Amino acid sequence: MDIVSTQQRKKLHPHKFTLWVALGSIIMMFAGLTSAYIVKSNQTNWKPVSVPQIFWISTVVMVLSSLTLQMALRSFKQREMNKYRLLIGVTLLLGIAFVVCQWLGFQQLWRQQITFKGAGAGQFLYVIFGLHAIHVIGGVVVLLVMFIKAFLGRVKLYSAVPVEVAATYWHFVDLLWIYLLVFFLFIGSK
């Protein structure tokens, strides 16, 4: 009996497996988009774009939100529900702040006449950063559901799997954002 339960604990939970498959496809999508950016940037009429400063603020916000979500996960595992509720709420607010910063950044780009017209990095910025923002909005929705469940739901089984899956996804979109920002700063501004 002990051998069976030990083997079951070593198996990857189906939700975690599904998440890793999804993350793999997201990585492939963004790898394709950034590769296309590199190829297109070699055209003669290419116009580089500088990344708005507010994207630095959104980076700090995103990193802080990863930190608070990791602390929330630890609190959940230690069954400190009041602390978990507070931290999941703070993470939710930071996620919303990130989306607002992105929106303000896109508005700055638009005011600088960086639109979808013509050849240049603007089209890629909107598509790539926009797709990332959609993934973050999906994460914010998950955080909202977790926040509501933390206050309304009754926890009979302290299964940390949903919180672990959400945290892994959130850390992933955080790292993806840092990759995209660094990519556009060093490769995209040439």
**What is the predicted pLDDT for the residue at 125?**
79
Q: Which domain holds residue 177?
A: 14-40+47-186
The token pair at 167 is 């945290």
Domain assignment present for residue 93? The answer is yes
Whether residue 162 has pLDDT greater than 80: yes
Residue 127: half-sphere exposure toward Cβ, Cα within 13 Å: 13
CA gap 89, 91 in Å, rounded = 5
> Residue 163: in which H helix or E strand, if any?
helix 161-186
CATH code at position 68: 1.20.120.80
pTM higher than 0.85: no
Among the residue ranges 18-22, 159-163, 171-175, the one predicted with the least confidence is 18-22
Domain assignment present for residue 131? The answer is yes
CA gap 180, 125 in Å, rounded = 10
**What is the predicted pLDDT for the residue at 23?**
82
Angle at alpha carbon of residue 175, lines to 116 and 172, rounded to 5°: 100
Domain assignment present for residue 1? The answer is no
Domain assignment present for residue 122? The answer is yes
**What is the predicted pLDDT for the residue at 2?**
53
Helix, strand, coil shares of the chain, percent, nearest 5, are 80, 0, 20
Domain assignment present for residue 162? The answer is yes
Whether residue 28 has pLDDT greater than 70: yes
Domain assignment present for residue 135? The answer is yes
What's the rounded mean pLDDT across residues 4-31?
74
Domain assignment present for residue 36? The answer is yes
Q: How many domains does the chain have?
A: 1
Domain assignment present for residue 5? The answer is no
